[in-house]
Amino acid sequence: MDTEKDPSCNKVPLFEKADFPVGVAVDFAKLIRDEAYRNLIISQFNSITAEQSMKASFIHPARDAYNFSETDQLIEFCKKHNKRLHGHTLVWYKGNAKWMDKFKGDKDAWDQVLKEHIHTIVGHCRGNVKSWDVLNEAFNDDGSLRQNVWLKNIGEEYIEKCFRYAAEADPAALLFYNDFDLESRPEKLDAVLKYLGRLKAKGVKIDGIGMQMHTNVNFPYITDINMAAMEVEAHGFLVHYSEFDISLVKAGTLWMMDKHLLKRQGSRMKEIVAGYRRLGSKSRFGITMWGLSDADSWLYDKNDHDRPLLFDKRYKVKPAYCGFLEALTE
């Protein structure tokens, strides 16, 4: 069945039409080797997040070894093409290097590891990476703190320390807390806002919240998404839809694929982007798609060839792209 026939629009430079930065998560190897991939990114997006290259497991593979090769090339790429490079992510329990999970030491030794890690990476990128997901996924669904090696060994002050160390290494950088399901789990959002609000009141620099926005074609309700974003804004944080995708999969199986499903994805895309544009212009850090084409998505292999993004595997625009574009021009 040809479900991708006749999307209602043509490819235009998306970011030029938008009144906020439009980003994409990039696969470094494809960016270097695949010209079509690279050119589409250059023409459509003005903000870049590395899908892997800046995660601890890659960038800090041993206690005394850092691997900045991909980061430095991304910095050059972004300078050359006038793109913003958003740093993702300094501290994430799933992105830890193996040596971190095995490290043994007392609280001070762990604190030293955290400090060196953040100071070295942010210091290296200072001036070139002007925003960071400092801490990723530190809360559970119910709003309690997620168990991880930092919490276990340093205590909950690790959260404050992450932001303090990042600000020390680059006082001008915008610092984000990043997490998923903030738009669908009010208890989680509430806990995050209260916690970060308390730190801010103590003078800790936290500029924004990354709402990952791994959504699907039926869930969550648009009103819940919009209300959550407005709440984040009302608490004085920049709002980044930081890893946006709209999955067509439920419980591991693709919903019955018919022409309506991709259209529905398009209309949801339009509503979500339109809702984002109703935030104040100063609060809109941007919307970042978590991958370029459907086949590049982290959900493609995991989920039965899911199709959650703006372009199909041949880089043709999908109704989702047209929905995004329509929301920008209305």
Per DSSP, what are the bridge partners of residue 108?
Answer: none
The number of C-alpha atoms within 13 Å of 45 and in the hemisphere containing its C-beta is 28
Check residue 183 for interaction with ligand XIL (CB under 6 A): no
Nearest to 245 by CA among 275, 211, 278: 211
Task: Classify the C-alpha dihedral 172-178-87-93 as positive or negative.
Answer: positive
Check residue 298 for interaction with ligand XIL (CB under 6 A): yes
Q: Give me the 192-221 binding string for ligand XIL, x by CB under 6 A, dash otherwise.
A: --------------------x---------
Q: Of residues 51, 70, 137, 231, which has the active-site annotation?
A: 137
The nearer residue to ligand XIL, 55 or 164, going by C-beta atoms, is 55
Structure-token pair, residue 133: 């997901």
- Give residue number: closest CB to ligand XIL: 298
Q: How far is the CB of 217 from ligand XIL (least distance, A)?
A: 19
- Total of residues contacting ligand XIL (CB under 6 A): 5
Residue-by-residue DSSP string for 189-223: HHHHHHHHHHHHHTT----EEEE--EEESS-S-HH
Active site residue 16: no
Amino acid present at 2: D
The nearer residue to ligand XIL, 51 or 170, going by C-beta atoms, is 51
Check residue 303 for interaction with ligand XIL (CB under 6 A): no
Q: Which residues are within 8 A (CB) of 282 and not within 5 positions of it... i.e. 6 or more apart?
A: none
Q: How far is the CB of 137 from ligand XIL (least distance, A)?
A: 6
The nearer residue to ligand XIL, 30 or 277, going by C-beta atoms, is 30
State residue 244 phi and psi, 5-degree precision: -70, 130
Q: Which residues are within 8 A (CB) of 209 and not within 5 positions of it... i.e. 6 or more apart?
A: 176, 177, 178, 179, 182, 192, 196, 232, 237, 238, 239, 240
The nearer residue to ligand XIL, 58 or 322, going by C-beta atoms, is 58
Per DSSP, what are the bridge partners of residue 23?
Answer: 47, 288
The nearer residue to ligand XIL, 228 or 327, going by C-beta atoms, is 228
Dump strand ranges (E) for 5-160: 22-26, 47-50, 84-92, 131-136
Q: How far is the CB of 144 from ligand XIL (least distance, A)?
A: 19
Check residue 312 for interaction with ligand XIL (CB under 6 A): no
Q: How far is the CB of 297 from ligand XIL (least distance, A)?
A: 8
Nearest to 180 by CA among 259, 120, 102, 92: 92
Q: Read off the DSSP letter of residue 256.
A: P
Active site residue 137: yes
Q: How far is the CB of 97 from ligand XIL (least distance, A)?
A: 14
Q: Give me the 231-250 binding string for ligand XIL, x by CB under 6 A, dash otherwise.
A: ------------x-------
Check residue 51 for interaction with ligand XIL (CB under 6 A): yes
Which residue in 46, 136, 247, 265 binds ligand XIL (CB under 6 A)? 136
The nearer residue to ligand XIL, 184 or 212, going by C-beta atoms, is 212
Amino acid present at 156: E
Q: Of residues 231, 233, 243, 326, which has the active-site annotation?
A: 243
Neighbour-count burial of 130, counting CB atoms closer than 10 A to its CB (0-12 exposed, 13-18 middle, 19+ buried)? middle
The nearer residue to ligand XIL, 68 or 298, going by C-beta atoms, is 298
Q: Tell me which residues are annotated as active site.
A: 137, 243
What is the binding site for ligand XIL (CB under 6 A)? 51, 136, 212, 243, 298
